[in-house]
Structure 1
Amino acid sequence: MTRFAPNRRSFLKSAASVAATAAAARLALPGGAWASTPTPEVAGATLGYIALTDSAPLIIALEKGFYEKHGLTGMKIEKQASWGATRDNMALGSAGGGIDGGHILRPKVHLYSTGSVMQNNQPLPMYNLLSLNEQCQGISVTQAYADSGVGLDAGPLKEIWAARRAAEQEIPVAMTFPGGTHDLWMRYWLAAAGIDPTKDCDLIVVPPPQMVANMKVGNMEAFCVGEPWNEQLVNQAIGFTACTTGELWLNHPEKVLGMRADWVDANPNATRAILMAMMEAQMWCEDDANKDEMAQILSRRQWYNVPVADIAARIKGEINYGNGRQENRTDLAMRFWGENGSTSFPWKSLDSWFITENKRWGYLPGDLDTAALIDRTNRSDLWIEAAAALGLDVSDKGDSRGIETFFDGVSFDPADTEAYLAAHSIKAMA
C-alpha cells in the first residue's frame, strides 16, 4: 500500500512560526513594509506560458507591475508553441536560450523530474512552487455528435465507436501532452463510461492553440483542452462542450508554476519575489471586478491573440456548451486564489493523485515511491514563506486537502492510493 500521510502538527508549527516572524516585522516598520525581504539575486527569470487562460497570473503580474514591486525588473514571459516545446526549452534553461520555469501542466513536474518524458530519459529536477488555478478546462466533441446525447456521460460514444472500430476506422481523440492534465481528464471521462482510452479510440497530441483548427478540418472526434479553445469552438459553431472538467472533479487543480530546481536553489530571494508577485496577481485575477479587464489584456496580440469573447464568459462560470445548453455556474468558474489562498497553495495530496493516475495509465512505474517524489519536488514550504512575507494567514496550510470525490462516485484517499487504483477496472498499468 502506498501511503502519503502528512505530519500536520509539525508543519503547522513551522508555518505558524514563519507567520509570527512576518507579523512582528510588519509591526516594526512604517506602512507594514517587510523588514527582511532580501534583494533578489538576479533581475528576473524567463518564464514560459501556453496561450491558455490559466497562464493569466504570469501575464497579469507583468502587466500590473507586481514583479517590479518585488524587485524583479527583468522578468521575461515568453509564449511557447506547445507543451513539447515547453519541455525542450525547460531542459535548455535561460542560459541555453530556453526558460527557467513557467506555466505548466501539474504532472510535468513529476514527468520531467523522473526523466520519463525527457530526451534520453535524463531527469530534469523540478519544483512545484504554486498552483495557478482550479478547473475551467473542457472536453469538446465534433458537431456530428450533436444528437448522440453525449455529455458528462460519455456512454453514448461507446456503441458509436465500437461500430467505427468494427469498420476499421480510426477514432482520433486529442489531448495536449501524454500524462498531462488534459490527457488524464479525457481518459477518466471515457473510462468512467466503460470506454478504454487505450483500445477504443486513438489518442493523439495536439497543441492547445491548434485544437479548433484541427477539429474544423475533421482531424479529431473530440478533444480536451483549457480555455479559451473550448469557447472558441462553440463560438465558431464547429463543435460543442460535452462537459467541463470541474464537472468531473469540482475544484480540481490544474496548472502550476513549475521551475527548474537548480534555478530556485541558486536564487532563493528571487524565487520568493516571484512567488509574492504571482500571489498578488492571483488575487487580482480572482476578483470578479477585474475579470473583464483580464480578458481584454489576455486577448491582445502579444499574449493570446484571440477575441475577448472567447475568454470572458467561462472564467466567470457563464458556460455556453454549444448544443443548446447554457448555464451560469459560478461554481465552475476558473479559480486563481480561493479562500485564503487554498487554490494557490500546492497541496501535496493533489500531487499524489496525478502521480497515481500516471501510474494507472503506464506513464510512471507502479512501484515508484510516490511520497519520495513529492517530497523532492513540492516546495510548499517556499509558498508558506512568501505568503507570510505578504502578511497572509498560513495557519490552515498542511500537506493534505483531504479525500477527493469524482463525478462517478469514486473517492481518492491520498493515504491509500492502492484502494483508488483497485476501484478502477480500466487501466493500462501492469
Structure 2
Amino acid sequence: MTKTTTQGSRRISRRTLLKAGAGSAALLASLRLNFPGGAFAAAAGPEVKGAKLGFIALTDAAPLFVAKEKGIFAKYGMPDVEVQKQASWGTTRDNLVLGSEGNGIDGAHILTPMPYLISSGKVTQNNVPTPMYILARLNLNGQCISVGKEYSDLKVGLDTAPFKVALEKKKASGKAVKAAMTFPGGTHDLWIRYWLAAGGIDPDKDIETIVVPPPQMVANMKVGTMDCFCVCEPWNLQLIHQQIGYTALTTGELWDKHPEKSFALRAAYVDKYPRAAKALLMAVMEAQQYCEKMENRDEVAAICAKRQWINVPVEDVTDRMKGRFDYGTGRVVENSPQQMRFWADHASYPFQSHDLWFMTEDIRWGKYEGGFDSKALIAEVNREDLWRDAANELGVAASDIPASKSRGKETFFDGKVFDPEDPAAYLKSLSIKRIEA
C-alpha cells in the first residue's frame, strides 16, 4: 500500500463528520480528546511523522527540549521528531545544507541571522544558497557578555571605556587580546561588536574576534584563550561557579527585549510538508508557553541540565532561568527585567523589523555588501504568516498576536535609534563600521 493510500484511509474530513448527522458533534469531541492537537491533528494531519531538528547546548533551546520530553511534538502528530545536538553553529549550518535526506537536519534552534546568511549563500560552501524559513522566534534576551578574572578590579559593565584602556595596556606588553563569539554575523557576534564599538573599541582592529562553540567557552577562558566572550546560558553562570570570570552585562541591558534565537526549517521541508511544518511550529509555540510560566522554570532548568541536552549541573542553569542574576562582582539582581522570555512580550512572534536590524548590522560589519536588498530577502525567509496561522489554530489570545510585522523604532543603551523605515540613517549614525553609509 502506498503512503498516499495509507494517509487517505486515515483522514476523516470535518465535512464528512458534519454530514454524519446528530452523532457528529460527539464524534468530533471524542476525536479532540484522543488527539489533543484538535481538529488539526485529527483531520488533515501531518504528511510525515518526524523531522530532524538541530540544537546547540544553550538554554534558549529549551522549547525544543520541552516539546520532545513532554510529548508535545507527538501531540501534534509528530512522534518521530529527533532533536539532535550539534557541535557548533558551523556544524548546524553544514547539516542544514545537507538536509535530513543527506544525513543532515531539517531545521534547528538557530541564531536569527543564520537563516539569512545560509539562504543568501554568504556562509555556505561555494556560496551556494540553501533557502531557509524562519517560523518563530524562540526567545527574547538571555545572553550575556562575560570577561576574564584578570579584569576583576575593573568590574567591567556597559561602559567599555575602562576596558579599552586595560586592553591597550595588555597589547602594549606584547600580548594578544581576543573577544570570542559563536558564529560570524550571528547574534553573539553582533552583541559583542555593538558593546565594544559603543565604547570606542574597534572589534576588528583593536581586538581579535574569534569563533568558539558555546560549550567550549568556559574551558577556553580557563586557559586564557580570550579576554571576553558573548554566549547564552548556562556558560556565563558556569564561568562564575568555576571562578574563572564574571558577567559584565546581560544583553537585554544593551537592547531591552531584544530578539535572539529562531526556530527555522529548510524551505524545501516546509514546501514539501506544509502540515508537518505547521505541526512542528504549533508544538514549539505550546512548549514556549510552558517554558514562560515561572512555576515551570525549575522543571525547565532540570530538563535543560540533562545529559542528552546541555549536560551540566542543574545549579548552572536554575538561577538565571528563574531571573536571578548574580554577576559575580557582588552585584545581584533578583527577578531581572532582562531575564529570558519565551512567550511574554511577543517573544515567539518573528518581527520582520527585527530581522532588518540583524541584516543592517551584518551590512555594518561587511557580511553583506552595502545596498544589499535586505527587505526582499526578509520577505522570502521570514514566514510570520505561518506563525499567525499556527497562532489562530492554537487559539492564541488576540493580545498575544502583534498587529504589525514591525515593532517600530528600537532604542539601544547608548541612545542610538533603529527606525526600520530608515535603516540607512541608523547605519550613518554609527561611528565604527566597515562600510561608508
For normalisation by structure 1, the TM-score amounts to 0.91
- Residue in structure 2 matched with residue 398 of structure 1 by the alignment: 404
Deviation at 1:73, TM superposition (A): 1.4
Distance 1:73 1:263 in 2: 17
Q: How far is 1:31 from its partner?
A: 7.8
Q: Distance in 2 between matches of 1:185 and 1:32?
A: 47
Aligned pairs, how many?
A: 402
Q: Which structure has the larger Rg over C-alpha atoms?
A: 2
Amino acid at match of 2:230: C
| SS of match in other structure, 1:335 | coil
Gaps of 5+ in 1: 1-26
Partner SS state of residue 337, structure 2: helix
1:383 maps to 2:382: no
Aligned 8 A contact 1:138 1:225 in 2: yes
% identity of equivalent residues:
55
Rounded Cα–Cα distance in structure 1 between residues aligned with 2:417 and 2:90: 32
User: CA shift at 1:147, angstroms?
Assistant: 0.6
Q: Quote the offset at 1:204 in angstroms.
A: 0.5
Worse-matched range after superposition: 274-283 or 29-38: 29-38
Which residue identity does 1:389 align to in structure 2? Answer: E
Structure 1 counterpart of 2:226: 220
| Offset, 1:120 | 0.6
* Change in CA separation of 1:32 and 1:411 when aligned onto 2, cut-off 3 Å: farther
Q: Relative contact order (C-alpha < 8 Å, sep 6+): which is higher?
A: 1
Who is 2:16 aligned against?
Answer: none
Counterpart contact for 1:102–1:258, Cα < 8 Å: yes
Identify which of 326, 350, 354 aligns with 2:354: 350
Matched, 1:371 2:370: no
Equivalent residue letter for 1:82:
S
Matched-pair contact (CA < 8 Å) for 2:155–2:248: no
User: Tell me, what secondary structure is at the counterpart of 2:154?
Assistant: coil
Give the superposition deviation at 1:70. 0.6
Q: For residues 70 and 391 of structure 2, what CA distance do their matches in structure 1 show?
A: 19
Pick the aligned partner of 2:165 from 159, 165, 188.
159
| Residues 1:396 and 1:180: Cα distance change in structure 2 (over 3 Å) | closer
Question: Deviation of residue 215 (structure 1)?
Answer: 0.4
Q: For residues 101-250 of structure 1, what are the structure 2 equivalents within 5 Å?
A: 101-250=107-256
Change (3 A) 1:35 1:302: closer
Per the alignment, residue 69 of structure 1 pairs with 75
Per-residue CA deviations over 1:169-227 (Å, capped at 9, x if unaligned) read: 31111000000000000000001111111100010000000000000111111100000
Aligned to 2:6: none
Report deviation, 1:80: 0.3
- 2:61 is aligned to 55
Give SS of 1:146's match: helix
Cα distance in 1, alignment partners of residues 219 and 333 from structure 2: 26
C-alpha displacement of 1:248 = 0.5
| 1:362 equivalent among 355, 362, 366 | 366
1:95 to 98, 101, 104: 101
Q: Deviations over 1:53-76 (max 9, x none)?
A: 000001100111111111111100
- Are 1:232 and 1:310, in contact at CA under 8 Å, matched by a contact in 2? yes
TM-score by length of 2: 0.90
Residue 149 of structure 1 contacts residue 156 of structure 1 at CA under 8 Å; is this kept in 2? Answer: no
Which runs of 5 or more residues in structure 2 are unaligned? 1-24, 33-37
